[in-house]
Amino acid sequence: MFDVTDLTRVTPVLDSRAVTFENPTGERGAGGRAGDGRKGAPSRVIEGGERVTLADLAGPGTIRHIWMTFPPDRPARMRAVHLEVRYGGLSYPSVSVPCLDFFGSPHGRPVAYSSALTSMPEARGFNSYVPMAFGERIHIDLVNGNPDPIVLYFQIDYTLGESASGRLHVGFRRENPTVSKRDFVVTEGLRGPGRFLGWVGGVRPIDGGQWYGEGEVKVYRDGDREFPTICGTGLEDYVGSAWGMGPHAGLYAGAPLEVPGRGPIPKYVGFYRWHVLDPIMFSTDLQVTLQQIGADRGGLVERVDDYCAAAFTVCERAQPVPPVDVAAAVADLE
C-alpha cells in the first residue's frame, strides 16, 4: 500500500479528489463551477432536523482529511450536530458521533488545539486527519439535531485507488451520572481483528471539591475478563501529564478543554489520547474502561461524575455502532 507520509514518493496509483457543496460527487474538473467560478456555493443552510449527504463515493479509496465549520452557538446546539458513516451500502452506521467530539472536543465546546490526528485552529475550524478507508462504497451524512437551521461549510479530501483493509469505527457513549465503583465503558462490542486508535473523552465533575482523575484506564483484549492486559496509573498520566491535569495539547495526548468552576475543580474538561506509536491491537474482542476515582487528603475516594467518550477503532470488517442519542448527548450542558 502506498505510504502518503513518505513525502518523496510520487505515484499515479492514487487519484486525488475533494468533495464540497460545489462539487458533491468529487468529479474531476468539476470544482468551483458555481457562480461563474467566483465562490458561488461555499456553504449551505441545513434545516433543523435535516440529514444532508456530504459524500456518497464509489471506491476503493481513503478519506484523508475532513474540514468543516458551523457558527458558534450554545453548547447543546453545537453538540446536537452529528456525523454518520456507512460502508459498502450497509444499512447501519459504523460511525455515529457528535461532530465536535469527532474533531477532538467534547461538551459542545470548541477549543483551540492541535494534535497528530485532529485539530481546531482558533476554535473555529474543525479538522480530522484520521484515515477512513473504504472498499465498494462510503456514505457520509451530517445530521442537524437542532430544531433551528445552521450554516455548514465543509471539504472532504480523499484518494481513489489503493485502500487499506480496515474500516474506521467511531462510537459515542455518555454516562450521566456514572455508577459508584462501576467503571465507565469507553468502548466494547466490536469484533476483531482490529486496532484501537484512541478516544476523545470528557468529564463533568459532579462530586465537587476534590481531584477527580485518579481512575485507571484499562484495556481488556482477546478474552480478558476479570483483569485487563493493559492498566494505567491514572487519567492525567494516560493523557501525558502528571500530578493533576491542566490544559495542554500534544501530538498524541492532551487535555485542551477546561472550563473553570466556582472552586478548584473545573466545570468541564475535555481530553484525547491517540495510540499511534503505541498501537493497541486485538484479534477477537476489545473493551476499554475508565475508573471514577478521585483523591483527597485522606487518600483515594470513589466518585460519581458525568463521563463521555468518542472511541476510534479500526476493524477488519464493518460493524454497527449505536446511533447517537441526541437528547442524552446534550443533557445538562450549559
Cell digits of residue 95: 460511525
Q: How far apart are CA 326 and CA 222, in angstroms?
A: 32
The C-alpha atoms of residue 79 and residue 1 are separated, in whole angstroms, by 36
What are the structural domains of the chain?
15-26+39-160 (2.60.120.1390), 171-316 (2.60.120.1390)
The CA-atom distances, in angstroms, between 29 and each of 34, 156, 327 are: 13, 16, 42
- Give the model's pLDDT for residue 95: 99
Residue 143, all three cell numbers: 445530521
Determine the Cα–Cα distance for residues 130 and 252; give it in Å rounded to an integer.
Answer: 12
Closest CA to 321 of 50, 86, 54: 86
Tell me how far apart the alpha carbons of residues 123 and 110 are, in angstroms, rounded to a whole number: 5
What is the distance of C-alpha 124 from the center of its chain? 17
The dihedral built from the CA positions of residue 316, 320, 325 and 326, taken in this order, carries a sign that is positive
Taking 70 as the pLDDT cut, the residues of the chain under it are 1-2
Q: How far apart are CA 96 and CA 310, in angstroms?
A: 9
Residue for cell digits 465533575? Answer: 205
> What tens digit of pLDDT does each residue of 72-126 get?
999 999 999 999 999 999 999 999 999 999 999 999 999 999 999 999 999 999 9
Place of cell 479538522: 127
Query: In the prediction, which pLDDT does 11 show?
Result: 84
pLDDT of residue 162: 81
Q: Are 301 and 293 a contacting pair, CB within 8 Å?
A: yes
pLDDT score, position 6 = 86
How far apart are alpha carbons 54 and 318 in whole angstroms? 20
